[in-house]
Chains A and B, each alone.
Chain A
Amino acid sequence: MSKLYVFGIGGTGSRVLKSLVLLLASGVECKMDIVPVIIDPDDSAADMTRTVELMKKYKAIRDNKYLEFADANKNRFFKTELQSVDGMQDFIFSLENTHDGKFKDFIKMDQLDPSSKALVKMLFSEKNLESDMKVGFKGNPNIGSVVLNQFADSQEYKNFANGFADDGKDRIFIISSIFGGTGASGFPLLLKTIRNDKNSPKWKAISECKIGAVTVMPYFGVTQDDNSEVDSSTFISKTKSALAYYEKNISGNNSLDALYYIGDLVTASYENREGGSGQRNDAHFIELCSALAVLDFANTPNEAFDGGTKHYEYGLKDDNNGNELTFKNLCEKTKKTIMVPLTQFVLMNRYLNYGFEKGGKSQPWAIDNQLDDNFFSGYFFEQVQSFHQDFHQWLEEMARNKRAFMPFDADKVNPLFEIVNGYKPKSSFLGKKNYDLFDATLNSNWKGWNSAASREQKFMELFYRATEKLVNEKYNM
């Protein structure tokens, strides 16, 4: 299958990748394999760490020795393959010389002649020059644009280029915010490198491939802190400047095939953290929409991008006056893409968290498929449970953020099928209910059941088929 290299730049890049991975886990369709690459000088950023951990779990679960996706299998949970660039550890594109020292040391200011020094002082404030590089560019794209110029020289970039297919089917997608430091500066630089680096081993294939990008405009602010270099009052002005730059240098010269814009007038306010492990923002609906941009790009045929840069925006069917959103507020296309997969995955999540402990192990679905204590205490199940905890947390975070996205009642345990906000489940007076119905569905005699499949495959297949059936029976989606 062809590959989509997804570069997530900065904190927003990591968070969008996280949403993308969770959507893929739930079985949202993606017609390409995904190769995530995180570019962030702040290698201790909690958002990045969380995303990397999540992707590692996804890869562990999706491992070929556990799951296979032959035509006979119905399961779509974890269907899309996550690959990594050869030699790239934990999906991270490591930036050299950014871990220690100040910006002025990085540019070797001491070794510059007086006229160059004077020019540097004109371009960078004293605060910029004294800036500690190990926590990123703290909202300063002028620093980022210097530091990130090292893309093309890095071994990771060469490995990426070597792995790029010559057949013109592989694509690239870049995720960045426009109002910060790392994303705003990294996006144009990366694009320029990709399109113009003639020393790259696969330059022709890379320079001619379809490239898409989502540029995330302000959707959160940070609290005012005079000691912090991050100041959200500059977000709008930075966005305006960057947009003007993009108009001329990105979409203006057709170096991009698709550009997705996203932002929101309703903004959350986060605690002011310059970076590091303290930069741990709650998941946000905008990040989910940005992940949808990646999927839209991956699922659109090449021909659709012919004839210059295509611009896309995201809109809601109903804004709900800036209040919390549910599936009902989304347009049909989004609903069609995510509603059923997410509902299926949430049902699985609830069962594993609350239904399983009520005797899941002694059910026929477990016994008949050899899902015994050995399986439920093993590595695969441990990873699945851990992944589901992250999924649950992601939903909780989106629900408490501003604007809140709460398609599910995150705290509802019972009645199980009333968890989808705005959708009343069909009820039957005498039929089985709640987790009883879930177990009974898992215990169904499935047609075309591959009894020779691995236990992990059977486990995932069972939960996919059962949740698919339950969603069909219970909701009018």
Chain B
Amino acid sequence: MDFFDFFYRWKSFYGAQLFEHMRGYDDALMDYNPDLNQFPSLFLWTIGIVVIVFVLYYYIINSPRLAKWWHWLISLAIVAGLTCWVGFRTVNVEVRNQIITPSLQPYIGHNSALMFGIYNMMLAVLFYFMFTLLFRRWSRNCKHSPWVLLKTKLNNKKK
């Protein structure tokens, strides 16, 4: 399994056939066509959105007036919305245009697209959460959003 496929391995959530399609299964080859594997680009889009929103919130906008927990929640909602839409749209366009290999076509529909969008959103939320845990401490104004840094809490307790 490729590195990028790894992040989409919980296929029971959105359908094993969709996983096969996204990984690039081609009836003509009876195997996976690496050129048709959509996971790398989708993952990079997803991570890109996470990174952009994260950097915007913590390091570019970096506003003292937007440092409350609900401001962080709004940024998270933006990430969730965008990544859900990217995931849904990627699959939905192919469903609509019927460019799915014939053996997998009966199993992949709009519902699968929606579930895939939700899966992609959860993945992005997980990454955004991890980024928040690891990389917010250098933000001048928002480092304590959505909650006070553990290091600060411990320091304050010591004093």
Identify the A interface with B (CB < 8 A). Answer: 358-359, 362-364, 367-368, 370, 432, 435-436, 439-440, 443-445
Contact = CB atoms under 8 A, between A and B. Distances in A.
A384 to B, nearest CB: 21
B152 A439 contact: no
Contact of A440 (B64, B143, B148, B156): B64
Contacts, number: 42
B65 interface: yes
A364 B67 CA distance: 9
B141 A439 contact: yes
A125 B152 CA distance: 74
B89 interface: no
B110 interface: no
Nearest to B65: A436
B11 interface: no
B67 A440 contact: no
Interface in B113-133: none
Nearest to A439: B64
A444 B140 contact: yes
Contact of B67 (A359, A370, A444, A445): A359
Given A359-B64, A364-B144, 8 more contacts: A364-B141, A364-B143, A370-B159, A432-B63, A439-B141, A440-B64, A443-B64, A445-B140
Given A439-B141, A440-B140, A445-B140, A367 B148 contact: yes
A370 B64 contact: no
A367 B152 contact: yes
A363 to B, nearest CB: 6
Nearest to B140: A443
B68 interface: yes
Interface in B57-113: 62-65, 67-68
A368 B141 CA distance: 11
Tell me whether chain A's interface is mostly helix, strand or loop, or mixed. Answer: helix
Tell me whether chain B's interface is mostly helix, strand or loop, or mixed. Answer: loop
B68 A359 contact: yes
B68 A362 contact: yes
Nearest to B145: A362
A367 B157 CA distance: 12
B159 A443 contact: no
Interface residues of B, number: 14
B156 to A, nearest CB: 5
A440 B144 contact: no
B100 to A, nearest CB: 46
A305 to B, nearest CB: 49
Nearest to B63: A436
Contacts of A435: 65
Interface of B: 62-65, 67-68, 140-141, 143-144, 148, 152, 156, 159
Contacts of A443: 64, 140-141
Contact of A363 (B62, B141, B152, B159): B141
Contacts of A439: 64-65, 141
24 contacts: A359-B65, A362-B67, A362-B68, A363-B64, A364-B67, A364-B140, A364-B141, A367-B144, A367-B152, A367-B156, A368-B152, A432-B63, A432-B64, A436-B63, A436-B64, A439-B64, A440-B62, A440-B64, A440-B140, A440-B141, A443-B64, A443-B140, A444-B140, A445-B140
Given A439-B141, A443-B141, A444-B140, A363 B156 contact: no
Contacts of B140: 364, 440, 443-445
Nearest to A437: B64
Contacts of A368: 152
Nearest to A370: B156
Contacts of A367: 144, 148, 152, 156
A433 to B, nearest CB: 10
Contacts of A358: 65
A364 B140 CA distance: 8
A435 B159 CA distance: 30
A436 B142 CA distance: 12
Contacts of B141: 363-364, 439-440, 443
Given A367-B152, A370-B156, A370-B159, A362 B144 contact: yes
Contacts of A445: 140
Contacts of A370: 156, 159
A430 to B, nearest CB: 10
> Which 3 pairs, one residue from A and one from B, show the smallest C-beta to C-beta distance?
A439-B64, A443-B140, A370-B156
A8 B114 CA distance: 81
A442 to B, nearest CB: 8
Contacts of B143: 364
A359 to B, nearest CB: 7
**Which of A364, A368, A436 has most B Cβ within 10 Å?**
A364
A435 B65 CA distance: 9
Contacts of B64: 359, 363, 432, 436, 439-440, 443
A440 B65 CA distance: 9
Given A368-B152, A440-B140, A440-B141, A363 B67 contact: yes
A359 B144 CA distance: 13
